[in-house]
Structure 1
Amino acid sequence: MTALTKYERLEATALWRPDDGAQRVDVLLSLGDATLTISDMRENVLNHWSLPAIQRLNPGDRPALFRPGEDATEELELEDDDMIRALEKVRKLVERRRPHPGRLRHWVTAGILLFLLALTVFWLPGALRSYTVSVVPEPSRAAIGQQILTRIGRITGQECRGRGGRMVLTRFARRVTENPDLRVVVLSGGVQSSKHLPGNITLLNRALIEDFEHPDVLAGFLLAEELRRNSTDPLLPVLDHIGLRGTVQLLTTGDLPGAAIDQYAEALLVAPQSELPPTALLSRFEAQNISATPYAYALDLTGETSLDLIEADPVSSTTANPLLSDDDWVRLQGVCGE
């Protein structure tokens, strides 16, 4: 969010309600480049909100009420003028970047019609998807990812929100993947292992944390999911699922049909995990000095189908980076129980 340069390091106090019916608590807010960090009065991080997805519940009224996305249960009550102006500026920036009906829409529609006349029906869908992926801005991607996550939450239940565990997980995931904007969501069920969404969102099954004695397996799944994200644009599977009509709607209006979002969320939960080239995956493990063997045995207890990762593991367990202290690993394992 380069338009918010003058608000760098902006901080304020607010009242935060973590869920419907929960008691409001005093918190500290810190405005970052892409996220709003919510901390308790001892500066322990409670949550991160994606700036492009934040919504105002009572425009023009005070105190200002905000939520982190559509159908979200969290709520912030804010009276600090500078922070309110900064958040409103983000909302206006997102709205300006969103494609609006008008002259651009007519030109795009005309261009689509020309393509339909000039190109074959077998070439057009793929070309249109590629073009759409290249022009959809980050705020729209973040909004789409949040919509999908909200729908998944209705199916699988709310994400695990243990405060201490989430703080450790955020630090751990960003250190392992070197993705500073990564948002990791732990689910009690639904996702078999790991998945990723547009908007730098990674989903994890709680079993990856609770069923293993060391964090090496979790690190492996995070590395693998980040490789999938970097190998294929996360928006492409969404467009493949919604088809030509939904792609045209996204391109011309900036929105996706609600029914298409629901269908994709349900399909994602049951879709098989895509395979990764062992060489590329091993390169990621080597770059982060993490052993691939624990991850390989987590994929297959016998090691037969993941033998390439075991035999060619570039990092031995004795020289691998220590990933977490015992205390932090215990806190992380309690992320779904706090």
Structure 2
Amino acid sequence: MERVLSGMRPTGKLHIGHYFGALKNWVKLQDEYECFYFVADWHALTTSYENPENIVEYRRDLVLDWLSVGIDPEKSTLFVQSKNLYHAELFVLLSMITPVSWLERCPSYKEIKQELKDRDLNNIGFLSYPLLQTVDIILYSAKYVPVGVDQLPHIEISREIVRRFHFLYKCEIFVEPEGLLTEVPKLLGTDGRKMSKSYGNTIMLSEDLKSVEKKILTMMTDTNRKRRTDPGNPDICPVFDYHKVFSTDEERAEIIDGCKNAKIGCIDCKRVLLKHLFSFLEPIQEKRRYYENLIKDVDEFLAPGQKKAEETAGAIMEKVRKVMRV
């Protein structure tokens, strides 16, 4: 089977945007590819280096959320990035051959700096994020990396670094990765902005259902609809974007008609959504509680996957050291 690799930064519990943006696809890929999924804790340090004390706790939360949605350690190799020092070794070696200009042109470099204006990101770790990401991928000979269209430039940088290495050392050690494009549904936060924990506008996978209900009932809708008797426009309503993901075709048709012709109010629309949202979240939360009781030490739980990841990366590093004479 061809290999897929992907990782997530441990920055806290995951929300429904993470599920529909990545995890749902990860679960599906387990039956089609050999999957390596890792906790990208070093990547978390690139933007949260001042407060590293939460990363270990967040690492556990991340793994629990993965397991709760169906990531299966019997099907996939799960591991922690920082527990495998081959990542650091290959990062240092590839930093010798990677032009700074390649890193600076990465689209997310400027985007994230703009988004996180309150943090000082003028550090080498943040600048070289795409290089560490490249290491994460090529250490495991991953053929595919599941991404959205906006992340393809990251994969292209990885491909360029691989080609440069092979050209310089007249060998072919690494697999040139390809992006495995995934469709990501549009799910804005409860305030109509991008769903982000920093905005406090998320629906968490493990969130208390009473809290979820309160957030949905106060969620932003079509701002032009001031009264129940005003006709609305589902195309500009964040709540309807959720219906596209959670509700049936028949229900969506009824909501479109009811909204446009003022037959239903926004609360009625939200009540239909809540029914489906609860049905989605309840089994996930039940499974999470099971794993919370089962797993006392997350590193011990991940030990089999960690061992396999280290052995896989170690075989690659033997070849790298040989051609680089180190």
- TM class by shorter-chain length? under 0.3
Greater strand content: 1
TM-score, L = length of structure 2: 0.25
Greater helix content: 2
TM-score, L = length of structure 1: 0.25
